[in-house]
Amino acid sequence: MDAISVIRTKRDRGELSPEQIDWVIDAYTRGEVADEQMSALAMAILLNGMNRTEIARWTAAMIASGERMDFSSLSRPTADKHSTGGVGDKITLPLAPLVAACGAAVPQLSGRGLGHTGGTLDKLESIPGWRALLSNEEMLHVLDTTGAVICAAGDGLAPADKKLYALRDVTGTVEAIPLIASSIMSKKIAEGTGSLVLDVKVGSGAFMKNIEDARELASTMVGLGTDHGVRTVALLTDMATPLGLTAGNALEVRESVEVLAGGGPADVVELTIALAREMLDAAGIKDADPAKALADGSAMDVWRRMIAAQGGDPDATLPVARERHVVTAPSSGVLTRLDAYGVGVAAWRLGAGRARKEDPVQAGAGVELHAKPGDTVTAGQPLLTLHTDTPEKFDYALKSLDGAYDIAAEGTAYEPTPVVLERIA
């Protein structure tokens, strides 16, 4: 085997053989295949695609590059959720303890934000003392004693994917659907969960901008999960508008706690319950009612135990940014559009996100929404509040909001987009 012949096969729209795939993933992980050679192969895959057989083998090779976790010692069935990323997407925070309160074990391996999409670990690290890095033994202990754990994936889990993702991020190949699907599913399958629900975002604030691409990605990942013996289902969900009323780390934690307390924005509650029902069904738990577990406080109890088990103080005061800037409505009427991408970029520029994985984030930075599409607004009323510790960032953030919202004449009819667009199983 040699890298050049593998690159040429895919460059010329050929099908990579199982032996070629196994060799190139292993050789790249060991450093025998150079970054520039894998970059060329990734670009050929982006341009020419892969069939289901190739994607399944690519995924299996990445799984084989590291360890596999085992949760068979747990007394509960396991269920996990993965989101493809969006703006204001804090769903994991209330969802994991909610599903645990209903009887499943939730081993949630999460990531950090990059660019305009927020990261679950960044959000939780705004809680004083909370730790994202756990050993496998610590992870299993938290899962066994609380029912849910949210933490970073260890270095031993699919190391080929970790190396390849960093390369894709700087070579313009992140959007390759076969590589997105295999990246997500290699980690989830290696994680050892018995069932998986995928939240595939669609819209301006998502990687998948249109329903056709989102459907293709979801179908590919459901197929990969099925091929590897993991019961998998996907929901296509709207990401044209930010989820909830906040985008930012501590801001989103605060909103998640409101949901666990029985309140919170309607769209966040709706999606949390919809995903919880899918996870419980996939885990074989038929008689639990997640809406009841939110209302009676049992999900909040699990949240508090889970945070404390990872060193966090669930009663601690969350960080607040030192500076604020209010964006007001320029006219009266009906807010008909609030662009998720524009809000996400503003939050990122305020310090809530990072341009490189090494960059720090501000816990209190972000954007607070005072109206959502369909709401009637009055000229001069607050539309958005920008939060940051570094006020010199305001002008840069405001540029991303130019043209990011539309206000129509009073009385204009508004047809809301459903939160859940499609289900793929």
Q: Which residues are catalytic?
A: 82, 161, 168, 183, 187
Q: Nearest to residue 82, comparing CAs of 196, 227, 218, 221?
A: 196
Would you state the structure tokens that stand for residue 326, as one six-digit string?
Answer: 């209010």
Beta bridge partners of 150: 108
Q: Which residue has the tokens 């070579």?
A: 171
| Cβ atoms within 10 Å, residue 109 | 22
